[in-house]
Structure 1
Amino acid sequence: MPLDLALLHARVRTLDPERPTASAVGVQDGRIIVVGDDAEVRAASGPATETVDLGGAAVVPGLIDAHTHPFKGAIDARGADLTGARTLDEVRRRLAEERARVPDGGWVLGFGLGYDVLAATGVRGALIEDAVGGAPAFLLFMDLHTGLASPRALELAGVVGPVAFDEASEVVCEDGRPTGELREWAAMDLVRAAIPALTGEDRHRLYVAQLRRFAALGITGTHAMDGSLATHDTLRRLEAEGGLRTRVVAPFWITPETPRDAWQVLAGHGDAHGARWRGGVAKFFVDGVIDSGTGWLVEPDTAGDGTLPFWPDPARYREAVGFFAGHGFQCATHACGDRAVREALDAYRATGAVGVPVHPSLRAGDPAPAPGTRVQHRVEHVETIQPEDLPRFAAEGVTASMQTQHMMDLAPDRSDNWSRRLGDDRCDRAFLTRTIRESGALVALGSDWPVVGLDPREGMASARLRRDPADPGRAPYDDQALDGLQALLGYTRDAARAVGEDHRRGTIRPGLDADLTVLAEDPVDTPAADLTAVPVLLTLVAGEVVHRAG
């Protein structure tokens, strides 16, 4: 059969060692059929073949973001965008603009608030009360682990003092009265429950719009890091209606409050999948974040925090990991602090096996995984680590899923809140992307959107620069930079391998899925500081053009 699509006059970086470069790619029935020169691809074409002359543009394997929150993020990233606001005055200005857009009686929402903005004043809802004109307001900090509620918001939510939780959450109080700072989800949910809920259709429209944005940025697949049975229903509808423009791996989020009988129910849905989505992953949080003092550390941080796990009973976390791994689920654990990283590694080792079998939806068909292939469990973030634990990733077969954009705003002189909390010694062991990779461990790269920006060009640039690519005057935070090829591998082949899909995706090779990203320039050869300006021209998922520039 003739090709459906022919991409010609391109610079193709295949990441296939047997044929690392080519000038053309031919696609038929969702698969890559031909990788070669223009003449080879033309010879396989027919009258009905769509031919695209790329004029020297670069074709790379479809970009995969190994850590996002596409559905939760679509809901949370509403209201005033506070990302990049460096001063309290700038935060107030943006909130006042948002207040002007909100109807009388409505809530003022915001996201992306930085901790350093409130370092001098402390985190207090009263600081934003005038800017929002006394309206109820709820702001999410940039890491989604802390919220700030205005006095009116606390009043409407009925939050008047300390609250006891089953997990490591806190309504921060002074003299018994809430300051407005809400640490971790259970505390934030007290206020969120008072915010008028979106309708189901409103939420669905936000999901569709967000997945369209993924495609426009060249993202062909993502590992969504929160989910439930309802998420699977959402994915089924998106796929049925043609709105699933990006492949999604959708874990179940297992919390300390998830009862054991619910584990049994979820275990029965491990094989769930569609053409572009699947489950089979269990997601855990064993700590919070360094910035708010909820990251779990071997030794307390400089403010005396960081001594408590997110799961009040770590033994139950280990039991949950053992249960889901025993039912064939790949396990992914959020672990920022060094004690949390150790606990995750210990839990995986206690399962008695390296990883789990490849997901059933990926075992059948051609190409099939190599016999005996197993998918490693994962640790998400790995922001700081004890020296003796670093070699365990490679030795024990655990993937490090890392997000270098998290450290873009860290100050080289370590004056930022994150660095001050950790102190110099632990900062020397921060975000060790290159060292972990050089140890032989698998390192997958992602953004953690909406905690940081979604753009994979920024993600690859930050991995190479160890600073914000938009701030050329800032020095690198450390010496852990990757080179251009390593950064691209982290967003393609290695991200696919992290979920057992590298026999289908992550490389441009005949027989593999036609998931491709076309950029105006090769992301490996482009200087890192210029990468964010390189246009995304075309995005293909299973041979379907899901984004075309212009």
Structure 2
Amino acid sequence: MVQTADIIIINGRVLPMDGASPPAEAIALAGNRILALGANTDIEALAGTGTRRIDARGATVMPGFNEAHMHIFPGSVSLRQLNLHGVQGFEALKAAILDYAAKNPEEPLLMGFSADYSIISLTEPCTRHHLDAILPDRSFMMFAPDHHTAWANTRALEEAGLLHGKDVGIGNEVVMGPDGLANGELREGNAFGPVAALASTGGREELGMVTGMDPESVTQEQYALDRAILKAGLDYCASWGITSIQNFDGNHYQLRLMRDLMQSGELSCRIRIPYHMKNFMALDDLDKAADWKQEFQSDMLRSDFVKVFMDGVLDSQTAYMLEGYGDRPGYTYEPLFTPEAFNAIATKADALGLQVAVHAIGSAAIRQTLNGYEAAVKANGARGNRHRIEHIEIIHPDDIPRFAELGVVASMQPVHYPGGTCFPAEPTTTRIGEDRWDQAYAWRSMKEAGAPVVFASDWPVSPVSPFQCLQDAVTRKPWKDGLKDQRFSLMEALEAYTATGAWVEFMEDRKGKLIPGYLADVVVLSTDIEQVAPDALMGVESRVTICDGKITFERD
């Protein structure tokens, strides 16, 4: 007896993304699985009286996007905040902040995001005095695009107890001014966390990134607010064709919120959430991560990996570098973990069967992380845990082949490339130094050396749109003649956002490709993406998103 389809999608260019099968015209879904691919007539024959028909109108039909590195709680909260992307100069900043303040009269802490490091000017860094001149009587803080630096006005610093400075731990800093008071710049989570706690959310969205701990107490009203914020964020991701999220901040509180949404049928994307290992935690805390892996192991919600920060970012000069910065030779900064501490973490997590994913942007941070993974292999043998390094913005050439040798994943974000569609070239290119430009954001170099390369946005650091990331991946222009061409082809970039993403999270046997029997995670695009000019890719949209056999977004 032939099974009847619940959903059929016809008149499309169906890309299986399995590396072997040619495109098809149509696809059938039954329950939460793919039933068949084929010609329109073959798929139409699987329809019954209750089958939902979707006409793709000649557009691409492909596996749902796997967003392999993002921050769902901060990203979801950012939908309620002031977006400062593209705002330049004091007057433009003033207009944006005052308009936002007028529209949010009850918010105890007004917050902006994606404020460029040079938002005032390339030669004048932002301070609390600039913000005081705009908004002196209400607390205000804005984040840099990378979410590693924030700037707060005097009112916010006073309320958070930071105006007179504070020891906020290794790798974090309340920057002080010449007057002996905080100048408003806050580097890393321990520094801006006390200000974020003033918000109506109580800063709960930052805990998974800053401390990895749960909030101390949450009222029913606060829980309901956080649940609604996350639901809106998940639905927003679905509107971009995303069906899987690999989250990079996490605590047990977020997992419980997601389980609540899953059990009520409101989880619009699959999600995996890490155990966030911080440098103040005991090694035995990794046993909790192993417990979480057992507690959350469904195809919709999992917690099966460990997140670690090794360093900061280039623009604030908190990335850990081998040979200093281009504009600050000899200044290397410092790692958040000693080599001995990270080696122990990598070895124990590996022995527990946990994947480790490390934020490492500077060349020294990347090398120290690779050394830790090598120590794990020497201690435990090669266990195939597919450990990862996130971002990899500047790497020493000697370390590129080590990814393939050690089986380490290169998790990279083309949209972060300075001078692309999202971020200006300066000050980042100056921080790197012209002599090392060929070693920066080296996606093609990593792939050619045999590293598995997976793409993502790092939302809310940059827009969650996969299409903007795809455009940067295929159109990147070198900063000067003679540099290596780091571009991906469109199909390589799509693979890095689908099939490779599924492989990275050990689900290549059931998602990331359109194969009969695989999970029904499908996106119907607004056009045939293969016919779109490379510099117009960010204009493509998701028309219909289907996750686990359910329509989670429909534009029409």
Tell me the TM-score normalized by structure 1. Answer: 0.91
Displacement after TM superposition at 1:314 (Å): 3.4
Contact residue 290 and residue 306 of structure 1 kept, 8 A: no
The residue number in structure 1 matching 2:192 is 188
Q: Output the CA distance in 1 between the equivalents of 2:161 and 2:168.
A: 16
Do structure 1's residue 288 and structure 2's residue 292 form an aligned pair?
A: no
Kindly indicate whether residue 254 of structure 2 is the aligned counterpart of residue 231 of structure 1: yes
**Which residue does 2:467 correspond to in 1?**
457
Q: Give the equivalent residue in structure 1 for 2:210.
A: none
Deviation at 1:19, TM superposition (A): 1.9
Question: Distance between the aligned counterparts of 1:398 and 1:523, measured in 2?
Answer: 30
- Alpha-carbon RMSD across the aligned residues, in angstroms, is 2.5
- The one-letter code matched in structure 2 to 1:386 is H
1:299 counterpart = 2:309: no
Query: Cα–Cα, structure 1 residues 111 and 78, in superposed 2: closer, same or farther, change >3 Å?
Result: farther
For 1:31 and 1:411, locate their aligned partners in 2 and report how far apart those are by CA, in whole Å. 36
Map Cα deviations across residues 308-366 of structure 1 (whole Å, 9 max, x no partner): 33425332122122221211110000011111111111111111179999xxxxxxxxx
Distance 1:502 1:110 in 2: 38
- Provide the residue aligned with 2:148 in structure 1: 145
Write out aligned runs for 1:352-363 (5 A).
352=377
Counterpart Cα distance in 2 of 1:83 and 1:318: 38
Instruction: Name the structure 1 match of 2:415.
Output: 405
- In 2, distance between residues paired with 1:455 and 1:293? 28
Structure 1 residues 347 and 7: CA distance shift in structure 2, 3 A: same
Structure 2 Cα separation of the partners of residues 467 and 244 of structure 1: 38
**Structure 1 position 351 matched with structure 2 position 354:** no
2:202 matched to 1:179?
A: no
8 Å Cα contact 1:149/1:180 also seen in 2: yes
Q: Structure 1, residues 384-415: CA drift from partner, whole Å, max 9, x if none?
A: 10010011111211110000111154699x96
1:543 aligns with 2:549: yes
For the residue of structure 2 that corresponds to 1:540, the secondary structure is strand
Answer yes or no: is the 8 Å Cα contact 1:354–1:376 preserved in 2.
no
Q: 1:87 deviation in Å?
A: 2.4
Give the ranges of 4+ consecutive aligned residues of structure 1 lying more than 6 Å apart after TM superposition: 353-357, 474-478
Correspondence for 2:361: 336
Which stretch shifts more, 83-92 or 201-210? 83-92
Counterpart of 1:322 in structure 2 is 347
Q: Deviations over 1:40-68 (max 9, x none)?
A: 21233323322222222210111111111
Q: Does 474-483 or 494-503 show the bigger shift?
A: 474-483
Give the match's secondary structure for 1:46: strand
Amino acid at match of 2:22: P
Structure 1 residues 243, 114: CA separation in 2 closer, same or farther (over 3 Å shift)?
Answer: same
Identity of aligned residues (%): 29
CA distance in 1, matches of 2:526, 2:64: 14
CA contact (8 A) 1:311 1:317 kept: no
- What secondary structure, in the 3-state scheme, does the structure 1 residue paired with 2:324 have? coil
Comparing 417-426 and 69-78, the one that deviates more? 69-78
SS in 1 for 2:530: coil
Counterparts of 2:115 and 2:431 in 1: how far apart (Å)? Answer: 18
Say if 2:419 and 2:425, in contact at 8 Å, map to a contact too: no
Q: Which residue of 1 aligns with 2:399?
A: 389
Q: 1:459 to 1:353 in 2, by over 3 A?
A: farther
- Shift, 1:261, TM fit: 4.3
Deviation string, structure 1 residues 221-273 (Cα, Å, up to 9, x no partner): 11101111112111101101222101111111111122334332332222222
Equivalent position amino acid for 2:432 in 1: L
User: Which deviates more from structure 2 when the two are superposed, residues 448-457 or residues 105-114?
Assistant: 105-114
- Going from structure 1 to structure 2, the CA distance change for 1:318 and 1:240 (only over 3 Å counts) comes to same
Q: Which residue of 2 is the match for residue 417 of structure 1? A: 427
- Residues 312, 520 of structure 1: CA spacing in aligned structure 2 closer, same or farther, 3 A cutoff? closer
Give the CA deviation at 1:134. Answer: 3.1
- Give the 3-state SS of the residue equivalent to 1:441 in structure 2: coil
1:518–1:375 CA distance, 2 compared to 1 (3 A):
farther
Worse-matched range after superposition: 532-541 or 72-81: 72-81
Q: Indicate the residue corresponding to 2:96 in structure 1.
A: 94
Shift in alpha-carbon separation, 1:105–1:435, aligned structure 2, 3 A: closer
Letter in 2 for 1:341: I
In structure 1, the partner of 2:292 is 269
Match of 1:130 in 2: 133
Q: Kindly tell me: are residues 479 and 107 of structure 1, through their superposed partners in 2, closer, same or farther at Cα, counting changes over 3 Å?
A: same
User: Per-residue displacement from partner, 1:130-178 (whole Å, max 9, x unpaired)?
Assistant: 2124321111111110110101111111213342233310111123321
Aligned to 1:159: 162
Which ranges of structure 2 fall in alignment gaps of 5 or more residues?
203-221
Q: Distance in 1 between matches of 2:127 and 2:536?
A: 39
Task: Tell me by how many angstroms 1:275 deviates.
Answer: 3.9
Q: TM-score, normalised by structure 2?
A: 0.90
- Mean CA deviation greater in 33-42 or 438-447: 33-42
Q: In the alignment, what sits opposite 2:215?
A: none
Whole-Å Cα distance in 1 between the matches of residues 483 and 123 of structure 2? 23
- How many residue pairs get aligned? The number is 529
Whichever residue aligns with residue 376 of structure 1, its letter is R
Mapped pair 1:169 → 2:172? yes
